[in-house]
Amino acid sequence: MPVGWIIEPECRERLLALFPPRYARTVARHVTRHAMAEPDAVPPPAIGHARIVGRMDDGEGLEALVVALDGTTTRPDGGTWHVIWSLAEDRMTEESSTLLARNGWEPCEGGPIRLAPAVW
């Protein structure tokens, strides 16, 4: 059961206008902290400062926005904090971390975002 933060609706709408999804499936919903948490996991506290600082598009159906949480884009596991933005029909959300590690990302300014703790 994933645990992390949901992008608050007004921030999501602003970002969708700023970064129109390039692929058929728009995700644009959350930042994952733990993909496989215990069912009774307590969501993490709200992040004090979150902002969109980059973008990754592999050109083959996977697009993600890079997030800086409290000033860092690096997750505790060494990966990159991100929001899966859009996917082609044949792509999986699980591919995003590997592609970010392999291909990197380009800086862009998406501004601050508000995130709410969540389990989904």
Query: How confident is the model over 74-97, as a mean pLDDT?
Result: 96
CB of 80 within 8 A of CB of 101? yes
Quick check: 72 pLDDT over 80? yes
Write the CB contacts of 67 (distance below 8 Å, at least 6 apart in sequence). 31, 50, 51, 52, 53, 73, 81, 82, 83, 113
**Residue that is written with structure tokens 């995700």 in the block:** 27
H helices of the chain, where? Answer: 9-18, 95-103
Tell me the per-residue pLDDT of 40-55, one tens digit each, with 9 for 90 and over: 787 778 778 999 999 9
Which pTM value belongs to this model?
0.94
What is the Cα–Cα distance from 42 to 54, expressed in whole angstroms? Answer: 29
